[in-house]
Every structure is written in structure tokens, then in C-alpha cells.
A and B are shown apart, each in its own frame.
Chain A
């Protein structure tokens, strides 16, 4: 069986680093790195999509990863 996993993917070029995603993530899977852009820890992320709805710049998508 092929394992699939949903995970948040951030367009870091357009991320404004506001930290809204970080504030809502129940698993602390996303953090703003060095004040530049947010990065998802794919091991922790469960793809719940909370950050997607919270991001004011709309630069997060939940994608299925093989």
C-alpha cells in the first residue's frame, strides 16, 4: 500500500512572516524562520488546514504527498 500524507505547503516567496499560521497550528508544526518566512515541519503537520484559513496572504495550501 502506498502511504499518502497531507501536509501544508507554503509559498515562501509570498509569505509575509506575520505568524498567523504559527498561532493557530494545533501541533506547532509551522514556525516563522528568522523573521523571513514560515516553514512547515512535515513530520509534525497533519494537513488539518487551519493555517490555510488563517493566512492573511493566502499562501498556504494543503497538498497530498506520496
Chain B
């Protein structure tokens, strides 16, 4: 067994993140790290080492599906790994993401009111008012937190489902961050590496 490095424990961070959202929604802001770090690594260094090393979510699925045996270990259906599905999901994901930013903007501009809900799978609205007290932060800050936590929870649920059905890290096949960093790296490196 290879020696464990500090970054082999980042799954704790991912698990903690999901738990903290149940206590105070404002912790959701920390999730922006999982957004910017992979993009910066791929844009600056041209590698996907975020996926290979630092992604706590990938590690969490590996742990639950692998060590804990919660995965059926079956092959993923071909359509899920097709470029159509992966790029389509990336576009869909970002459309919903910008929609979330727009809702945040509406609250910021005073045209919308803060909705204390976490939306699961872009459809199911779960009341989440226990994790928020209107103290000290602007409503749009909280609105973003609810929206961003929805994104994170939704992707975790999808990831858990495909982990159960297929292989532990099946989520990584269609993970928008994984697809996007691969696209950035390809744009950066395709001329250098001709294989």
C-alpha cells in the first residue's frame, strides 16, 4: 500500500462540507473552492491533477463505493460516457448554474425575495430555513449560499446514485468540472502531445 499523503484525506473536507450545510447554509460559500481550484490548475498547469489528487468528492465516492462496498461495480452504460451526454450535461449544468446566479442577482437588486429552500435535482424544493438566521449578511449572500448548496447536493446525490449502480467514481465520467478541465487541458496541450 502506498504511503498516504495529506491530500488523500480531502474526502473529509467534502463530507464535512455537506454536513455543515445542514447547520448553517452560509458554509456553502466554501464550495467555490471546488470550482476555482480545478479550473486554475488546468488553466495554469494544463493538468487534471485536481481529479487525480485533490478532489475530495472523487475520494469520497471511491471510499464509499470501494472500501465500503456500496457499489455494484458494473460497467457504465455506453451513452453515459458518450461525448454527447458529457458535453450536454456540462451545458445543462452551466445553464442551471447561471440561472442560479441570476436569481442571486434578482435578490441583490431587490427584485426578488430570499427563498430559504434547497432545490434538489433542479426540481424538488426542500425547505431549509433551520440553517439560516437573517443575521448580519445581505439577503443575496444567503440566496447564493442556498443556490450553491443546491448545486453541490444535487451533484452529490447524482454521484451517489451512479456510484451505487455502476462503479465508485462513475460520477467522474460526466462530472461537469471533470469535463471542463479536460476541455481546458485539451485546448492547452493538444498541439504539444501528439499521440
- Residues of chain A whose beta carbon lies under 8 Å from any beta carbon of chain B: 12, 14, 16-20, 22-23, 32-36, 39, 53-59
Contact = CB atoms under 8 A, between A and B. Distances in A.
Contacts of B192: 34
Interface in B65-118: 73, 75-76, 81-82, 86
The 10 residue pairs across chains A and B that have the minimum distance between CB atoms = A35-B185, A19-B52, A34-B189, A35-B48, A18-B172, A56-B169, A56-B167, A57-B81, A58-B75, A35-B47
Nearest to A11: B81
Interface stretch (B27-35, B133-141, B149-157, B173-181): B173-181
B195 A33 contact: yes
Interface residues of B, number: 37
B169 A20 contact: yes
14 contacts: A17-B181, A18-B52, A18-B58, A18-B173, A18-B178, A19-B48, A33-B193, A34-B185, A35-B184, A35-B186, A35-B189, A56-B171, A57-B76, A58-B81
Contacts of A22: 52
B178 A16 contact: yes
Contacts of A16: 81, 86, 172-173, 178-179, 182
Contacts of B82: 14
A28 to B, nearest CB: 10
Contacts of A19: 48-49, 51-53
A34 B46 contact: yes
Interface centre among B52, B75, B171, B186, by most chain A C-beta atoms within 10 angstroms, is B52
B185 A17 contact: yes
A12 B195 CA distance: 9
Interface centre among B46, B168, B173, B184, by most chain A C-beta atoms within 10 angstroms, is B173
Given A33-B195, A35-B42, A35-B47, 15 more contacts: A14-B82, A16-B178, A17-B181, A18-B48, A19-B51, A34-B185, A34-B186, A34-B188, A35-B46, A35-B184, A54-B167, A55-B167, A56-B167, A56-B168, A59-B81
